[in-house]
Homo-oligomer: A and B are copies of this chain.
């Protein structure tokens, strides 16, 4: 149902961002970058959770000095995040990072930006031009205020500068903590340039608030077919950022990461302990990668019919539960054996076990 917007393909290590490649999930370490061991532990946790690209902050020379060891030990391509000091960007490139994120609005002017671009081009390392609503150029703020126009004009002016230096391995982000502003800006950007888009809501907040804000903003853009890489920013463990990113990509229909369990909210018609059953099934199927759709429904109303797209589903009944496949009843199972039998059938369908019936 979603037609992805056509963007240039940019290689980042062994990954591709844009050009129709699967939307890349990235996150950022929250350790001190100078603590190489702690940073590598966190990167490995992120990789295990499904993160595909990892960014580290490089606030000073000590952090830049830690980069070679981090790059060498990381299972994921490493992006260096640089503000203010273009010398740190040059040092990061020398350290072997796979990508550089700079905010052209605060890197110290166009000459210094040019120095960074030249070195990146020489090493064939992509740049993310990360424009942020909080650090827009004064003339743009004066002309447009904090607006989609200002964010896009800022990005486009920096893109043109890089293009004049004959370099185009670029990824673009336009971040704001306002969701409507972020969404409007990325839509406008897509009308102007075809570079891959990095989506995220900046300073989104706590795990709860930030997840919802990120889902609304990133999700709306993904549904438009925009977005080539996403980063969910949460004031929380970065592993949670990856978990939320996967769920947003699943919801928008652009990627799948194992089974999706749809389940009814339960109501006065409910005949099953849906919440417990969903938790049990979720736990038992952890690690399964097959993109099955499974349904847990409380009653006949929202049962086989309403969950007809489910590969396998359970619905409640008076004494026994019903297991159904694509809208058709398959078997009745007593409630105390329902979860075990359902999980067995799911695993069978997923090809983990040989089927006996």
- Name A's B-contacting residues (CB within 8 A): 1-2, 28-34, 39, 56-59, 63, 81, 83-84, 132-135, 146, 177-181, 183-184, 202-206, 208-213, 215-217, 219-220, 222-223, 233-236, 238, 241, 243-244, 247-248, 250-253, 260-270, 274-275, 278-279, 282, 295-297, 299, 301-302, 305-309
Contact = CB atoms under 8 A, between A and B. Distances in A.
Given A180-B253, A216-B223, A268 B56 contact: yes
Contact of A295 (B203, B215, B265): B203
A307 B203 CA distance: 8
Copies of this chain per assembly? 2
19 contacts: A57-B269, A59-B301, A134-B306, A135-B306, A178-B309, A203-B262, A203-B264, A203-B302, A205-B261, A206-B279, A208-B243, A211-B215, A212-B251, A213-B251, A215-B219, A215-B251, A219-B219, A233-B264, A236-B265
A216 B248 contact: yes
Contacts of A252: 179-180, 216
Given A202-B306, A216-B251, A269 B223 contact: no
Nearest to A274: B235
Contacts of A34: 268
B220 A216 contact: yes
How would you classify the secondary structure of chain A's contact residues: helix, strand, loop or mixed? mixed
Nearest to A58: B268
Contacts of A308: 134, 146
Nearest to A297: B203
Given A134-B308, A306-B132, A307-B134, A265 B233 contact: yes
B57 A183 contact: no
A73 to B, nearest CB: 16
A307 B2 CA distance: 34
Contact of A30 (B223, B234, B253, B268): B268
